[in-house]
Amino acid sequence: MNPQLERAVELKQALVDFVYDAEGEIAVALESYAAQQGNKERYGIKQQNLILDTFITAGKVGEKTPIELFLAQATDLTDGDRNLLNKWQDSFTGLFEIKQILPDCLELMNWLTAKHYRVFLSPNIPTNEKSRWQGGEILLTRIAPLDELPKAEPQSGYRNWMLFSDFITKGRLSQPKLAVAIGEFKRNYPDSLYGDAPDLLEQAWESVVIYHQEFVDFFGSDRLTLPGYKLNQQLGELQAKMSERRLAGIDSSKSVQELIRETGADEEEIEEAAVAVGAEAEAVDKMLKSKEKLSLVTSKIELPPEIKQAEQVTVFSHPRWGQMYLSTYTKLTTLLASEASEENQTCQLLVRKYLEDPQINYYIWQQLQQQYAPQLEKVLQTTLNLPDYNLERDLPETLKKYEKRLEPTLPEIASVPQHLHDLFTEAVAQVQKSKTKKKKKKSKGFQ
């Protein structure tokens, strides 16, 4: 085995043992992290290992990572060991396709960014598992750098990587199933999205800002209520207008700064709104002042049938949270505004639905809290059977228990890289073609 890989495997095991054997803050942080991540698909030993390996490189114990704490207490590490451990903070989780199987490594492509990696394998991987791998298979796993490219080489980054965690084999997927797997990855691993391409992530966030401003310019407000069919029609008009003007990432000849200037948007207002929901002021300022050209493509926003058919839909738009479509918001606010709303069973059921529905995010709850705080507090006291429930004090923890993040993840309206746009387009076409074939078969019958 490659001596460098052998040492990396030893260090990885020492790091895992350090975290597993730790007590106090590290143990509490690991337990909390595992609880937050434990709702992932097919939760089993492989998923547990992936969660642990993500925690030791990207988790936080106070203000430090487990790697930093390990380095601080270790006394027998060489400078090379310490350099390697520090590099592991550049590790990331991805959805990889096996492009080539070599004797001691794999050539993998991260489907989220289309970047290729030469990844060396730990001897701890059972031979029978490796023997089942085939080209074209999809693996959910985490990889970490082994060494850097020579400084003389034109590109920067790492030459070799190692399989840093257990892997979950997805198999060889058709385009529709691959599109579904990518969608699941985006939902289950939002913090790992474009983990190896921070420039793409930044541009994706830029596209959300631009779409929000286009939405406000078109509708005249960041919140409105209208029939579902009319909303669907007007959103189609908005997207057609955006396509015509080559906005929101389609126009690669313009930067976000140029596009915002063209719309007449107020940069300070956008920045204040983003910072108010937890975005770092420095990152937002950098995004708004970016002069880099956009290289992403906007996918068509398709409303679900229940929204299209709803009598009334309330739409919220935000430069960080994106767009939210609710068919019951008017009903809920009407009930909250009525007398003795805490005794109304329909109101209680709606509030519980808003807690349990993953589509109802923290931003929506903020709007309810701002407008209906006294009534909402009473309804939650009744619904949760907590007479002492205090909305201002307890709401954030309540929402966490219902797996609602207090900061936004990249919204669905965000633009995507060209290769993902092409995949999603082809996947939809294949599904539609398959449905058409089934309809034709059913319609034949007896003549």
Mind listing the pLDDT tens digit for each residue in 69-79?
999 998 899 99
Give the model's pLDDT for residue 290.
55
For the segment 421-440, what is each residue's pLDDT rounded down to a tens digit? 999 989 988 888 877 776 66
State pLDDT tens for residues 116-145. Answer: 999 999 888 888 888 889 999 999 999 999
In this prediction, residue 230 carries a pLDDT of 97
- Mean pLDDT for all residues in the chain: 86
- 188-226 pLDDT, tens digit per residue, is 899 899 999 999 999 999 999 999 999 999 999 999 999
Q: What is the pLDDT of residue 44?
A: 80
pLDDT band at 93 (very low <50, low <70, confident <90, very high): very high
The pLDDT of residue 318? 97
pLDDT band at 61 (very low <50, low <70, confident <90, very high): very high
Residue 83 has pLDDT above 70, yes or no: yes
Q: CA torsion angle for 429, 430, 433, 437 (degrees, to 10)?
A: -170
What does the pLDDT read at residue 276?
52
Instruction: Say what the pLDDT of residue 296 is.
Output: 82
Per-residue pLDDT at 267:
61
Mean pLDDT along residues 57-70: 92
Which amino acid is located at 328 in the chain?
T
- Tell me, letter by letter, the H, E, C secondary structure of the chain: CCHHHHHHHHHHHHHHHHHHHCCCHHHHHHHHHHHHHCCCCCCCHHHHHHHHHHHHHHCCECCECHHHHHHHHCCCCCHHHHHHHHHHHHCEEEEEEEEEECCCEEEEEECCCCEEEEEECCCCCCHHHHHCCCCCCEEEEEEEEEEECCCCCCCCCEEEEEECCCCEEEECCCHHHHHHHHHHHHHHCHHHCCCCCHHHHHHHHHHHHHHHHHHHHHHCCCEEEECHHHHHHHHHHHHHHHHHCCCCCCCCCCEHHHHHHHHCCCHHHHHHHHHHCCCCHHHHHHHHCCCCECCEECCCCCCCHHHHCCCCEEEEEECCCEEEEECCHHHHHHHHHCCCHHHCHHHHHHHHHHHHCCCCCHHHHHHHHHHHHHHHHHHHHHHCCCCCCCHHHHHHHHHHHCCCCCCCCCCCCCCEEHHHHHHHHHHHHHHHHHHHHHHHHHHHCCC
Q: How confident is the model at residue 86 (pLDDT cuts 50, 70, 90)?
A: very high
Mean pLDDT, residues 48-54 taken together: 91
- Binned at pLDDT 50, 70 and 90, residue 420 comes out as very high
Question: What's the pLDDT at 154?
Answer: 39
| CA 422/CA 222 separation, integer angstroms | 30
Strands 115-120, 158-163: pairing kind: parallel
pLDDT over 90 at 8, yes or no: yes
Confidence at residue 408, expressed as pLDDT on a 0 to 100 scale: 95
Q: Is the pLDDT of residue 155 over 60?
A: no
pLDDT at 51 over 60: yes
Residue 352 has pLDDT above 60, yes or no: yes
pTM score of the predicted model:
0.81
pLDDT at 42 over 70: no
Q: pLDDT tens, 296-341?
A: 888 778 899 999 999 999 999 999 999 999 999 999 999 999 988 8
How confident is residue 4, by pLDDT bands cut at 50, 70 and 90? Answer: confident
The pLDDT score that the predictor gives to residue 159 is 84
